[in-house]
């Protein structure tokens, strides 16, 4: 399994770049993961989505899809795509150190 170094820590990641073990994640890693995922700066609204994603993953064992994020995070689908142009659920999950949410809708 490949590794990546974020905030000075070497962590195992899968082929798509998601952390293999969510427990290894720290908030200090987020800005560096974000840059590698094409998000240059994390605004408070980015952080709201990232923390929401992580909390939902920890509560339910899986992160929300874009539709669920749009309905429950308080950020609209339009704004989610502006924050994370390469896919809101996927990118937010990667930055939050949790697995890619599964779901077709």
Partner 1 sequence: MSTSLEKVSIIVSKGSLEGIYPALIMANGARAEGIEVNLFFTFFGLDAITRKRLGHIKVASVGNPGLHLPTLVGALPGMPALITRFLGRKMDKLDIPPIPEFIEMIADTGAGLYGCQASCDLFGLTQDDLADQVKDIITVGEFYALAAGGEIIFT
Contact 92, 84 (CB under 8 A): yes
φ/ψ of residue 74, rounded to 5: 90, -5
Shortest distance, CB of residue 93 to partner 1, whole angstroms? 11
Choose between 30 and 94: whose C-beta lies nearer to partner 1: 94
How far is Cα 35 from Cα 101, in angstroms, rounded to an integer? Answer: 20
Q: How far apart are the first and last CA of the chain?
A: 29
Task: Give the residue with the Cβ less far from partner 1, 59 or 102.
Answer: 102
**61 catalytically annotated:** no
Binding site for partner 1 (CB under 8 A): 15-16, 65-68, 70, 76-78, 81, 85-91, 104-105
Q: Which residue number, 16 or 41, has a Cβ lying nearer to partner 1? A: 16
Catalytic residues: 104
């Amino acid at each position: 399994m490949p590794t990546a170094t974020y905030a000075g820590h070497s962590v195992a990641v899968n082929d798509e770049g998601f952390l293999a073990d969510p427990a290894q994640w720290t908030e200090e890693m987020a800005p560096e993961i974000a840059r590698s995922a094409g998000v240059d700066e994390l605004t408070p609204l980015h952080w709201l989505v990232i923390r929401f994603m992580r909390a939902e993953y920890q509560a339910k064992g899986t992160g929300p899809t874009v539709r669920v994020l749009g309905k429950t995070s308080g950020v609209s689908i339009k704004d989610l795509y502006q924050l994370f142009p390469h896919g809101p659920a996927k990118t937010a999950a990667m930055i939050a150190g949790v697995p890619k949410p599964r779901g077709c809708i």
